[in-house]
Amino acid sequence: MRIFFLLCISLTSLLLGQTVKFTVLISPEISINDNSESLNNVITSLNKIDDLNFVVICGNLTQQGSLKEFLKLKSILNKLEKNYYLLPSLNDLKDANSWTYFIETFEDKFLIKFHNKAFIGLSGVVPLTDINHYTTEKINWLNETLDTINLDDEIYLISPIQIDYKIDNWRTLLNQFQKKDLKLIINGNAPKTQLRNLLGYNVFDIQKSKKNEVNFAIIKTTNDSVYIYDSNNKIIYAFDKKIEIPKEKIELDSVFSINSEILQNINLNTTLLTSCDFWNNKIYTSDYSGLISCLDTTGKVLWEFETNGNIINKPLITDRMLAAVTLQGDLITLSAITGEQFQSIGFEDYITTDLLAIEYKGDKELMIPKLTPSMTALVFGTASGKIYCYDLETLQEYWVNDYCKEMITSKLLHFDNKIFYTSRDGFLYCIDGKNGVTIWRWKEKATTDLSYSNIICDGKKLFVVSQDGTLYAINFLLGKLDWKIENINLLQNISFSRDKKFIYAKSYYNEIIIINAEKGKIEKKIKVDLAFSNSLSQPIEIDNLIFLCDNNFIGYIDTKYNFIKSLFLGNAPIHTVNKIGANKFLSSNIDGNIVIFKLR
């Protein structure tokens, strides 16, 4: 009898041990100015739940993604007596300092195992961009993680946003689970809370938190069932895990041509946050891991150089030299012919902009004499708001500007010996290219945010787009507003026609808008079969065609304003098209696909 009693206790313990209870908390959006009362109240209530195994906080963790906000969030979470994991969203990883702090303090992915249950959290944010995408490195991590999970283990996938609505390559992600037992997908920041079906998988969407209220759900998975509770501990959904739902086969599209001929398709299987360079009939790439490569047009690697840092900004080739910067603050020069390193110098700051080459026209004498008459200088911006100007040949400093105090976000523009840029403080800046002195800064009002806008200049005016989609024309000498166009929801990657008489802009309404640069008048709106987003590319005019890269397609608008799809380059953001020969074009995407093609 005693043996039977002990056996019952053991079986009961085993069965109870199979139950896992956890909380998914949505978008606290911590800011410096609020008192975070709602999050503190939620933490107090979660601490009282004895059988809670862990907590996941996902979505927009902060309001602006600043380091101060993350430090405040960390201090609040120190009160949480449960194990917790964070999954950031787009608000959170736009600042280099806070992103580095986040990665060093937390993680943007995790695996938690309890008995036969595996919980996988994965954020699809590409750091320092406005892009939701599962990078090749994230997909590779997921594959390696799934290899450690048994075929009969249950898997629960947690995402800070709705994967099938917000992330372009969600099918690639879901395809990894086809031979595994994925029981439930949990999405944060959804328009409404619901339990639904996606290709045969159970999906639980949790509604985005309202202002001054942190939304969360409690999920309990037992041997047979999954129960979902709201914040009042009331069951709102439940399903039987033993009921098998037929899974749909997930088809993945590969690169294919439509109205073009693919001459070469090279897949590097690595993240390229910068477009390729084409020089001396060779392709130059720089990937996120810090590898710079020189390829021939067949994809054969001619040389490689490891920078030992992350490359998020575009290198440049000038004076037969390749100059590159790492996010961690290294400036490196190489021979563009052989890849041999010439020099390098480190900065105690994160470098956050592409390199800009200018002809230095100042009067500063360098300490070390130059061996050539070249006056090429390199200009770049940093996370602390500084702009540096260094001699290309010797890497000696000409000047530094520290007027701005927040991260430089835009690609630098050089015109009339002036340098223009935008910052996370929302301003457009103008500084003197000879000595780095600030000439002016501008934004329309306190709430105007010009950060991340592409800046273009027609010789009289600068053109920038604010975060709310307003196009501004600014007198480049005086820093005064000439005109603006509101309420057309433009994206911030704008460009010029070849003669600079017209501005090409993409709108959130899937239109290309052609604007008269002199008058500020909309000349034409062209509806296209693409879903525009804040991608890596801007419209570009080549041979009287307006090339567009978005929604995973490359296409163009012809002289009769017809939109023609050219090719599909995979489920990933695409870089701007580059002409490399007569009817020969080069482009690439964030997943390392490089394509050379011609139009039919």
Burial degree of 587 (CB within 10 A; 0-12, 13-18, 19+) = buried
Q: Which amino acid is at 457?
A: C
- Tens digit of pLDDT for each residue in 57-75? 999 999 999 999 999 999 9
For residue 117, give the nearest of 218, 245, 221, 217 by alpha carbon.
Answer: 221
In the three-class reduction of DSSP (H, G, I as helix; E, B as strand; rest coil), residue 137 is classed as helix
Tally: H helices and E strands in the chain = 7, 47
Q: What are phi and psi of 226, to 5 degrees?
A: -120, 125
- Tens digit of pLDDT for each residue in 501-526? 999 999 989 999 999 999 999 999 99
- CA angle 155–173–182, rounded 5-degree value: 20
CB 472 within 8 A of CB 481: yes
Q: What are phi and psi of 66, to 5 degrees?
A: -85, 160
In the three-class reduction of DSSP (H, G, I as helix; E, B as strand; rest coil), residue 103 is classed as helix
The whole-number pLDDT of residue 8 equals: 38
In this prediction the pTM is 0.92
The whole-number pLDDT of residue 534 equals: 67
The whole-number pLDDT of residue 211 equals: 79
Q: In the numeric block, which tokens belong to residue 378?
A: 């390199």
The sign of the torsion formed by the CA atoms of 122, 124, 125, 127 equals positive
Burial degree of 532 (CB within 10 A; 0-12, 13-18, 19+) = buried
CB 363 within 8 A of CB 390: no
Close Cβ partners of 126 (under 8 Å, ≥ 6 residues apart): 132, 133, 135, 271, 273, 590
Place of tokens 């303090």: 105
pLDDT in tens, the chain (600 residues): 333 333 333 333 344 448 999 999 999 999 998 888 999 999 999 999 999 999 999 999 999 999 999 999 999 999 999 999 999 998 899 899 999 999 999 999 999 999 899 999 999 999 888 899 999 999 999 999 999 999 999 999 999 999 998 899 999 999 999 999 999 999 999 999 999 999 999 999 999 888 778 999 999 999 999 999 998 899 999 999 988 888 998 888 889 999 999 999 999 999 999 999 999 999 999 999 999 999 999 999 999 999 999 999 999 999 999 999 999 999 999 999 999 999 999 999 999 999 999 999 999 999 988 989 999 999 999 999 999 999 999 999 999 999 999 999 999 999 999 999 999 999 999 999 999 999 999 999 999 999 999 999 999 999 999 999 999 999 999 999 999 999 999 999 999 999 999 999 999 899 999 999 999 999 999 999 888 876 788 999 999 999 999 889 999 999 999 999 999 999 999 999 999 999 999 999 999 999 999 999
In the three-class reduction of DSSP (H, G, I as helix; E, B as strand; rest coil), residue 173 is classed as helix
- CA angle 176–182–183, rounded 5-degree value: 165
Number of Cβ within 10 Å of residue 11's Cβ equals 10
Rounded Cα–Cα distance for residues 9 and 296 (Å)? 69
